[in-house]
Amino acid sequence: MKGRKITGGKYKKFRKKKKFEKTGITRKVKLSETKKKIKRVLGGNTKIVLLSSNQVNLTNPKTKKTEKTEIKNVLETPSNRFLARQNILVKSAIIETEFGKARITNRPSQEGMVQAVLLQE
């Protein structure tokens, strides 16, 4: 039986979770006008949380140039196909830009911006 010892006794938690051990709200970055929020994190530090964005810092691997461009659409998401239908920006999602297809290389919900690399066609 789950949660019990071999003898039949219950396992008991020795304490509750502390605030820093609790999981935070999972934020899904939507494709729309850019919105950011400043959040206080451990040690009194701050983190910029991205709520929605339509801008991307796009790097071309051939020329090694980076420029800011507009995101048109989310084409596919390898981790979860339903996220692409909802236009949610996550790491490794394939997006459509003015320069062509690109792959998101960072975690937008954690870093406050979207970084991507142009894919070779």
Per residue in 77-106, pLDDT (tens digit) is: 999 989 999 999 999 999 999 999 999 999
Q: Say which CATH topology domain 25-118 has.
A: 3.10.290
pTM above 0.75, yes or no: yes
All structural domains of the chain with their residue ranges: 25-118
* Rg value, the chain, Cα: 20
Per residue in 42-52, pLDDT (tens digit) is: 899 999 999 99
Query: Sheet containing 46-53: which strands, arranged edge to edge?
Result: 35-40, 46-53, 29-31, 88-89
The secondary structure of residue 44, as a DSSP letter, is G
- Structure token digits, residue 112: 């406050």
How much is the average pLDDT of 105-120? 93
**b (16+ CB within 10 A) / e for 83-115:** bbeebbbbbebbbebeeeebebeeebbeebebb
